[in-house]
Amino acid sequence: MSITPDDKSPTATGSTTKSGYGVQENVTARVRTDQSAATTAAQNAVTYFPEFGYATYWRLLDRVITGRSSEFEFKENRYSTYNRRTHFTPIWFPDGAYTTYTWILDCWTPAGMLSMNMTDSVTIRGNLWEEWHIAPAKP
């Protein structure tokens, strides 16, 4: 699992971004077995967010690659200017780690369902209001 600042964030560097901008997530789930006919690939991934206490809101990720090595990403965000696969961090989120939790599930075997919990973080430093400046025009 990897969470990174959105490529369109103008001031993001490495894994550091300002609150109010988007983050992208990529999850890869590989299933290895000697009984491939009796086992399914991971079929779903659900991400929970710190601003909701990891409880009241979650996002079901899109499976963008299917097979024994499935890949998941956020669905396209209709509130994104460019319909990016992003989740916007809240502007009020404090500086520090912004950690998402993802539950990969629905990998079925003869013995039942396999699932896995994963986490990753970006660092929040500042907020998008620091980018905005309004001043009178020069005459």
User: How many CA atoms lie within 13 Å of 97's alpha carbon, on the beta-carbon side?
Assistant: 6
* pLDDT, tens digit, 9 for 90 and up, residues 71-122: 999 999 999 888 999 999 999 999 999 999 999 999 999 999 999 999 999 9
CATH architecture of 2-131: Sandwich (2.60)
Q: Are 91 and 64 in contact (CB under 8 A)?
A: no
Task: Tell me 52's DSSP state.
Answer: G
- Cα distance between residue 59 and residue 100, in whole Å: 11
- Cα distance between residue 54 and residue 36, in whole Å: 34
The domain locations on the chain are: 2-131
Burial of 44 (0-12, 13-18, 19+ CB in 10 A): middle
Tokens of 32: 């290895």
Mean pLDDT of 123-138: 85
- Cα distance between residue 127 and residue 89, in whole Å: 10
pLDDT at 137 over 80: no
The pLDDT value recorded for residue 125 is 97
The pLDDT value recorded for residue 130 is 87
* pLDDT, tens digit, 9 for 90 and up, residues 7-25: 998 889 999 999 999 999 9
- Cα distance between residue 13 and residue 65, in whole Å: 28
